[in-house]
Amino acid sequence: MALIVKKFGGSSVANAERVLHVASIIAEDYKKGNNVVVVVSAQGDTTDDLIEKANEINPDGSSKRELDMLLAAGEQISIALLAMALEKMGLPALSLLGWQAGFETDSHHGIARIKRVNTERIRNEIAKRNIVIVAGFQGINKYDDITTLGRGGSDTSAVAIAAAMKADVCQIYTDVDGVYTADPRKVDNARKMDEITYDEMLELATLGAQVLNNRSVEMAKKYNVELEVLSSLENKPGTIVKETVNMEKTLIRGVAKDTNVACISVVGLADKPGTAFKLFNKLAQFEINVDIILQSVGRDGTKDITFTVPKDMGKTAVEALSSMKDFLKYKDLTIDESVAKISVVGAGMESHPGVASKMFEALFDASINIHMISTSEIKISVLIDSENADRAVKAVHDAFFD
Ligand code: ASP
Ligand code: MG
């Protein structure tokens, strides 16, 4: 007998038919004698619809406390419906809101962090052989106010329960059947991976292969919770996410595209100590996450610094640096939003030369120009024009996987 945590995303419980289907998946494991704790998201687009409702009332933005109160309602609907579906099948099920399930968070409404999960209630219920259905994405702060964990937060709720209860398995059901070597909608020979490491998954998640919420993967890594990503529509094995995996023949786990990038160039900066510090310190004050950084060699007492930021932060970054023009004494400031970052990710490349050159050759063969390059132990990223992004992913994917 095992303790199984299962999480179902919004699309998996979008309508009555899907809710009943999810109930049958749960029933199968329960009837084998396992204890099952289920985490669910709000049905379909419910969360977006609720945000829309809030905007209708106050387009200037409602308080985060009230938004949390509103958004938490989405998950309340799906847990009750799923419990009803299980009841109908004659199974003992019980739904719990985040606070009832013991989710204690900090007070950052809209992006709260889980401090601890007091699992007493869940333990009592499963001891009575109840199937426990928990509302994902929500908790309660020390003032007894409802909080939410940020969009896509139900994955994190599931991992937190699995960690706190030392569950045997944590299965994340979604509408795709696993993690692919590239976006299967864009690259027809993309393959499903059997296994991937936490670190690789984190890179692929930030780079736009958004299957699992990032924070959930970080938490899974920290507490060593093995995850399985699988489809709620098809009954077949998915992708396992864990600490170390068998390196197959391939060095590369996947190819990802990120179009949420803007490239900013600061031209003609003074070539003296402290320039980079002052520039990036300013951006840090605005909580702007800088990614690839390139500094030119100094020439005639000046140098250029080029870097990338998330696209939605581009304007803020330009404003911040414009306000420092007199202080930084640069000649020109430009922003390019029509760029994309393409990355190859794989723990195997650490010990294998030639990955970068193979990637660059594939881009060269496709006549795609590279603006910037950055590397880490497990990834190589290039910045290119966004109009070439899909072609680049295909070319690089073919080079490594064909
Ligand atoms: N319902 C929330 C959202 O749409 C949480 C989740 O889906 O995980 O962001
Ligand atoms: Mg959702």
Closest Cα to residue 22, out of 234, 238, 232, 235? 232
How confident is the model at residue 246, as a pLDDT?
A: 72
The burial of 144, by beta-carbon neighbours within 10 Å (0-12 exposed, 13-18 middle, 19 or more buried), is given as exposed
CA atoms of 396 and 356, how far apart (whole Å): 11
CA of residue 377 to ligand 2 center, whole Å: 33
CA of residue 267 to ligand 2 center, whole Å: 42
How confident is the model at residue 251, as a pLDDT?
A: 78
Q: Indicate whether residue 8 lines ligand 1 (CB < 6 A).
A: no
Which of the ligands is closest to the CA of residue 213?
1
The burial of 299, by beta-carbon neighbours within 10 Å (0-12 exposed, 13-18 middle, 19 or more buried), is given as exposed
- Provide, rounded to the nearest whole percent, the portion of the chain with pLDDT above 70: 98
Q: Indicate whether residue 74 lines ligand 1 (CB < 6 A).
A: yes
Q: Indicate whether residue 10 lines ligand 1 (CB < 6 A).
A: yes
How confident is the model at residue 206, as a pLDDT?
A: 66
Provide the pLDDT confidence category of residue 249 given band limits of 50, 70 and 90.
low
How confident is the model at residue 250, as a pLDDT?
A: 64
Q: What is the mean pLDDT of residues 344-350?
A: 87
CA atoms of 46 and 78, how far apart (whole Å): 10
How confident is the model at residue 120, as a pLDDT?
A: 97
Q: Are strands 293-295 and 302-310 parallel, antiparallel or unpaired?
A: antiparallel
Closest Cα to residue 155, out of 169, 166, 170? 170
Phi, psi of 183 (to 5 degrees): -60, 110
Q: Indicate whether residue 41 lines ligand 1 (CB < 6 A).
A: yes
CA of residue 154 to ligand 1 center, whole Å: 6
Reduced to 3 states (helix: H, G, I; strand: E, B; else coil), residue 378 is coil
Q: Indicate whether residue 254 lines ligand 1 (CB < 6 A).
A: no
Q: Indicate whether residue 154 lines ligand 1 (CB < 6 A).
A: yes
pLDDT tens digit sequence for 36-70? 999 999 999 999 999 999 999 999 889 999 999 99
Residue with CA at minimum distance from ligand 1 atom 8: 152
DSSP code per residue over 49-116: HHHHHHHHH-TT---HHHHHHHHHHHHHHHHHHHHHHHHHTT--EEEE-TTTTTEEE-S-TTSPPEEE
CA atoms of 276 and 196, how far apart (whole Å): 36
Q: What is the mean pLDDT of residues 158-179?
A: 94
Best of 11, 13, 41 for a ligand 1 pocket test (most atoms within 8 Å of beta carbon)? 41
Q: Are strands 195-197 and 138-140 parallel, antiparallel or unpaired?
A: unpaired
Best of 39, 40, 47 for a ligand 1 pocket test (most atoms within 8 Å of beta carbon)? 47
pLDDT tens digit sequence for 281-339? 999 999 899 999 999 998 889 999 999 999 999 999 999 999 988 888 899 999 999 99
How confident is the model at residue 207, as a pLDDT?
A: 64
Residue with CA at minimum distance from ligand 1 atom 9: 151
Mark out the alpha helices in 128-197 (DSSP H runs): 154-164
Closest Cα to residue 136, out of 239, 37, 257? 37
Q: What is the mean pLDDT of residues 194-220?
A: 86
Q: Which two tokens stand for residue 346?
A: 């794989």
How confident is the model at residue 350, as a pLDDT?
A: 78
CA of residue 270 to ligand 2 center, whole Å: 48
The burial of 297, by beta-carbon neighbours within 10 Å (0-12 exposed, 13-18 middle, 19 or more buried), is given as exposed
CA 199, 202, 206, 209 torsion-angle sign: positive
Q: Indicate whether residue 47 lines ligand 1 (CB < 6 A).
A: yes
Q: Indicate whether residue 153 lines ligand 1 (CB < 6 A).
A: yes
Which of the ligands is closest to the CA of residue 172?
1
How confident is the model at residue 208, as a pLDDT?
A: 59
Q: Indicate whether residue 174 lines ligand 1 (CB < 6 A).
A: no
Provide the pLDDT confidence category of residue 349 given band limits of 50, 70 and 90.
confident
pLDDT tens digit sequence for 91-146? 999 999 999 999 999 999 999 999 999 999 999 999 999 999 999 999 999 999 99
Instruction: List residues, by chain if needed, whose CB lies under 5 Å from ion ligand 2.
Output: 10, 41, 47
Residue with CA at minimum distance from ligand 1 atom 5: 152
10 Cα nearest atom in ligand 1: 7
Encode burial over 189-212: b for 16+ CB neighbours within 10 A, e otherwise.
ebebbebbbbbbbbbbbbbbbebb
Q: Name the DSSP class of 194.
A: S
Q: Indicate whether residue 98 lines ligand 1 (CB < 6 A).
A: no
Q: Indicate whether residue 212 lines ligand 1 (CB < 6 A).
A: no
149 Cα nearest atom in ligand 1: 5
Q: What is the mean pLDDT of the chain?
A: 93
Question: Position of tokens 């786990």?
Answer: 253
